[in-house]
Amino acid sequence: MASRAHPALPSLDAMEPERPPPSLMSELLEEIFLRVASPAVLARASAACVSFRRLIADHSFLRRYRSIHPPLLLGLVHRSGFQPVEAPHPSAAVARAVAFSFDYLRRTNKCRRWYPIDVRDGRVLVECPREKGLVRDLAVCDPLSQRYLLLPLITDDLLASIGLDSSLFHFGASFIPSGGIEEDTSFGVISWIQSKSRLGVFIFSSGSGCWSVSTSISWGDLGFDQINMLNLGQCAYDCFYWKLYDMSTVIKLDMNSMQFSTIDLPPGHDEREIIIVESEESKVAMFSLLIYDGTSVDYYTFPQNGSEKSHEWHMKSTIPLPDHCTSECYIYGPAEGYIFIECVRDEEDTTYSAFFSLEMKSFNIERVGRTSFPAGTYPYFGFPPSMSPRRI
């Protein structure tokens, strides 16, 4: 008798639903991880498996994540290292896990100690004064990984190429905002050098690895009979601004054309510190603080109508400061949508500085903490982007 044929049972593989392609799974995971608001939770997720870590550490994911979740203000950077924000600041718990100093940076007979002079995107720009000469050694470091890049020295030949002689009396440097640079390992540094006759500027690009752009102008061409010291500069809409000490005047450098000009400030700004920022509708705005009367910060806007005279500044708001900010005060920034106010205090034979953050859109003020290093202190945000070992 012929055996009856039994229908073939489907294999187990055929019964399983079709698996989505790996690329689609990665896209879904990326959308899930983008919704994780806490960087600490995201860091724990990256440790779960190799595929999670590869996705979260990818430069494109980090760029998207940072565009959605602003970095946390973790603390203050000064010459002795890092000091976390203090409770009740909302970042205080996370900040306690961060600690670093600059002791790992290379020292030589000509360079004994490194000092921070700017902080941006988790990187710290440090300088080391030499025993002789004005020009300093500069380095960009990631203090958490202890990687750093020494910048080339601005040599006498470079100074001579833009007409600067040996009569130098002031040197400064700071980061240039990335402005949407796609490559996380890229950064720029601007250095300004003053001599008795000229103001010179050099721009360093991590892409080229050298000081590739430079320009200078005489003080006479800027309309000054005598020179004056420049305050720390700020960048807004591809222009760099320096306020002159004890004057109601700002020097502006258009970094696209590399052309200098001057802007008059409202009367009375000779004794004020200012911060130039980007505001809505592509307008330039300014926060202004009277150094020896820290009761309030004034907020001005500057319409883009081609005119740059003092009467074009419009004061929009006066922002009161906390009651105990009535002594010597200074203003810093901008950084991640904030400016910062430092109030120097003398109590019981001790001098310290209390720091406050001012959110530029809401004008909300929060106490950050206090430090016994009143000079050269900078806010430190978030965790630095992944950096190439070759480029920091």
281 within some domain: no
97 within some domain: no
Q: Which amino acid is at 334?
A: P
DSSP 310: G
Alpha carbons 352 and 118: distance in angstroms, whole number: 20
pLDDT digits (tens, 9 = 90+) for 249-258: 999 999 999 9
Please give the model's pTM, rounded to 2 decimal places: 0.81
13 within some domain: no
pLDDT at 9: 52
Q: Is the peptide bond before 334 cis (omega within 30 degrees of 0)?
A: yes
Task: Look at the chain and report how many structural domains it folds into.
Answer: 1
Say whether pLDDT at 339 is over 50: yes
pLDDT at 143: 86
Alpha carbons 104 and 265: distance in angstroms, whole number: 43
Mean pLDDT of the chain: 81
126 within some domain: no
DSSP 352: E
pLDDT digits (tens, 9 = 90+) for 18-64: 555 566 678 888 888 888 877 667 777 877 888 888 888 787 787 78
Say whether pLDDT at 326 is over 60: yes
365 within some domain: no
pLDDT at 109: 66
48 within some domain: yes
pLDDT digits (tens, 9 = 90+) for 211-230: 988 899 999 999 887 677 78
Which among 194, 211, 153 has a CA at the least distance from the CA of 202? 211
359 within some domain: no
pLDDT digits (tens, 9 = 90+) for 163-176: 887 677 788 999 99
- The answer to which of 58-62, 206-210, 287-291, 380-384 has the lowest mean pLDDT is 380-384
Question: Which residues constitute the domain of residue 39?
Answer: 21-69
pLDDT at 10: 53
